[in-house]
Amino acid sequence: MNHDRSRELYDRALSVLAGGVNSSVRATRPYPFVIERGDGAHVIDADGNRYLDYVMGYGPLLYGHDAPEQVQSAIQRHASQGPMYGGPTEIEVDHAEFVARHVPSVEMLRFVNSGTEATVSAVRLARAYTGRDKIVIMQGGYHGAQESTLVEAGDDPYHTHPSSPGIPEEFAEHTIAVPFNDEAAIREVFEERGDEIAAVLTEPILANYGIVMPVDGYHEALRDLCDDHGSLLIFDEVITGFRVGGLGCAQGKLGVTPDLTTFGKIIGGGFPVGAIGGPAEIIEHFTPSGEVFQSGTFSGHPVTMAAGREYLRYAAEHDVYDHVNALGDRLRSGIQDICEDQAPEYTVVGTDSMFKTVFTREAPETFEGHCEGGCRQRESCPRYEICPKTGADTAAAATERWERVFWQEMKERGIWLTANQFESQFVSYAHTDADVEETLEAYKEAL
C-alpha cells in the first residue's frame, strides 16, 4: 500500500495540531492514514487505499458510512433550515420522547454535546442530589476526559491520583476506584464510607478495557449497596447505549435499573452528542427547573437530534440489531477458533456487535479450572492478580505487539481495527457476511 499522501498530510497536521490530531487515539504510529471518505462499511484514505472499517467512529456509526435515506434527508433538512437557533425545537422533544419510551429507567433527559459532558454533568447532579462528594468508579473504566474520573488507582481504593498533569491532586481525593466485578471490594468501601458516597459510576460492561462483562449478580449487588446507603447508581452507556441490548440498552439486557444513565455516540446519529437520563425527580434538579448548573450553546443541536432520532427510529423498524449481532457472533466465534489453533494465549471478548482480541488472557477453559467463583474469591484465589473477569490481566496485555505488529498487519490487509489494545471494535449494519469472511482470513494470516 502506498501512504505518501497520508504522510504528507500528517506532516502538515503536526505543525498546526497538537500531535497532528484532535483526539489522541488517532495518532497511530508511525503516522495515521488520513481518511478522505467513507463508503458503507469501508473508509478510503487520501492515497486511495480502501479499508474495511471496524472502528466505526469509535462506536457511533451503527449504519456504517451511508446512513439510511430517512436519516440522510432529516440531516439535510435540518442543516439547511438553520442549522441551529439557541431556542427550543420540536425535534429535541421527539428524540427525548423516543429515548424515554424505550429505556425504562429514563423518564427525562438533558442533551449535551459529548459523552464527557454527560458524565461530568451526571457526577455534578449526583453530588448535588445526595449532598455528598465521593464517587466510586471501576479500575479500567473510562468516562471521557473529565477531571473526576481521570485517576490512576492502586491497591488502596481511596488513594487515587490524577492520571494527567493539570488536574489538582485534591480532585482525586473524592474518587474511589475499585476493581470491576469484585463484590467484596466495593462492599468494604460502602461499609467504611457508605454515607459519603454520592454515586457509583460504572460502564455496565467495561468497553474500554478489552471488553469485560459483569459476573452474575455484580450489578445487582451495586444496586443494593446504593439503595442501602442512599447513593445513586449511574450507568455510563455512552458506548453500550443502543448498541448492546438493542433499544433497551445494556441495562435492559442485564436486567438492572440504574438511577442515572449517561448516553453518547449512537444517539447522535454520527454527530457530537451526549445525554443524561433518569427519573424526573432527579433530572429536574438541573437548571432551570433546579439549581444544578447545566447549559450549552450547542446542546440539543437540531441536526444531531434529527440524525439521532432517525437512527433510532430506523432501528426500531428494521432488523438492525439482529443483523449486527449475528455478524458479531460470527466474528467472535470465527476469531476464537483461529486463536485456539494459532494463538491459544489470546482470547476473544465482546457481546452483541462489539468484539476484540485481547493479547494476554488465558483461554477460558484454563481459567475456569482455577477460579470457580470468579473475582469474588479475591482473598483466596491465586489468580486474582490476572483475573480476566476484573480486567486485571488487560493491564498486562501485549499492547506493543497489538499496536506495532498485529494492528499494522491487519491494516496492510485492508482491515481497520481500533489501534489501542483496550478499545472495542464495532460491527455496523453495512457489514456483510462476505466482510466477515474477509476479516477472518486476515486474522488467520496476521495471527
Residues 254-283 that bind ligand PLP (CB under 6 A): 264
Instruction: Please give the helix or strand (H or E) that residue 337 lies within, else none.
Output: helix 320-342
Active-site residue among 10, 142, 218, 321?
142
Segment lying near ligand PLP (by CB under 6 A), choices 142-150, 165-173, 414-422, 439-447: 142-150
Judge contact between 1 and 412, C-beta under 8 A. Answer: yes
Segment lying near ligand PLP (by CB under 6 A), choices 45-53, 138-146, 211-219, 376-384: 138-146
Q: Which is nearer to ligand PLP, 238 or 276 (CB)?
A: 238
Q: From residue 357, give the alpha-carbon distance in Å to each of 251, 331, 343.
A: 24, 11, 11
Grid cell in block for residue 427: 460491527
Establish if 144 lies at the interface with ligand PLP (CB under 6 A). Answer: yes
Q: Which is nearer to ligand PLP, 271 or 384 (CB)?
A: 271
How does 55-71 read in b/e, with b if 16+ C-beta sit within 10 Å? bbbbbbbbbbbbbbeeb
Which residue in 49, 89, 105, 114 binds ligand PLP (CB under 6 A)?
A: 114
CA atoms within 13 A on the CB side of 429: 20
Which residue in 148, 208, 231, 390 binds ligand PLP (CB under 6 A)?
A: 208
Segment lying near ligand PLP (by CB under 6 A), choices 67-75, 132-140, 236-244, 388-396: 236-244
Establish if 58 lies at the interface with ligand PLP (CB under 6 A). Answer: yes
The distance of closest approach from Cβ of residue 104 to ligand PLP in the complex, given in angstroms and rounded to an integer, is: 21
Which residue in 99, 222, 239, 327 binds ligand PLP (CB under 6 A)?
A: 239
Which residue in 92, 203, 259, 393 binds ligand PLP (CB under 6 A)?
A: 203
Which residue in 3, 124, 143, 411 binds ligand PLP (CB under 6 A)?
A: 143
The distance of closest approach from Cβ of residue 213 to ligand PLP in the complex, given in angstroms and rounded to an integer, is: 15
Segment lying near ligand PLP (by CB under 6 A), choices 80-88, 111-119, 319-327, 407-415: 111-119
Grid cell in block for residue 222: 451495586
Grid cell in block for residue 164: 494527567
Shortest Cβ contact with ligand PLP: which residue? 115
Q: Which is nearer to ligand PLP, 142 or 384 (CB)?
A: 142
- Helices (H), ranges, 81-217: 90-102, 115-130, 169-172, 183-193
Establish if 115 lies at the interface with ligand PLP (CB under 6 A). Answer: yes
Distance CA 313, CA 88 (A): 21
Active-site residue among 134, 265, 356, 389?
265
Active-site residue among 45, 53, 182, 236?
236
Establish if 202 lies at the interface with ligand PLP (CB under 6 A). Answer: no
Q: How many residues does the chain have?
A: 447
Which residue in 116, 130, 294, 353 binds ligand PLP (CB under 6 A)?
A: 116
Specify which residues 238 forms β-bridges with: none
Count the site residues for ligand PLP by CB under 6 A: 15
What is the SS3 assignment for 389-415? CCCHHHHHCCHHHHHHHHHHHHHHCCE
Q: Is 142 in the active site? A: yes
Which residue in 45, 182, 183, 236 binds ligand PLP (CB under 6 A)?
A: 236
- Helices (H), ranges, 205-319: 218-229, 249-254, 280-283, 302-317
Closest CA to 226 of 123, 136, 292: 136
Establish if 394 lies at the interface with ligand PLP (CB under 6 A). Answer: no
Distance CA 395, CA 322 (A): 33
Distance CA 273, CA 99 (A): 14
| Beta strands at 260-264 and 232-236: parallel, antiparallel or unpaired | parallel
Q: Which is nearer to ligand PLP, 10 or 142 (CB)?
A: 142
Residue in the structure block whose three cell numbers are 494492528: 407
Distance CA 195, CA 215 (A): 26
Residues 62-101 that bind ligand PLP (CB under 6 A): none
The distance of closest approach from Cβ of residue 273 to ligand PLP in the complex, given in angstroms and rounded to an integer, is: 8
Judge contact between 63 and 430, C-beta under 8 A. Answer: yes
How does 221-232 read in b/e, with b if 16+ C-beta sit within 10 Å? bbbebbeebebb
Q: Which is nearer to ligand PLP, 352 or 435 (CB)?
A: 352
Judge contact between 172 and 161, C-beta under 8 A. Answer: yes
State the binding string over 158-197 for ligand PLP (x if CB under 6 A, else -): ----------------------------------------
Active site residues: 142, 236, 265
| Site for ligand PLP, rule CB under 6 A | 58, 114-116, 119, 142-144, 203, 207-208, 236, 238-239, 264
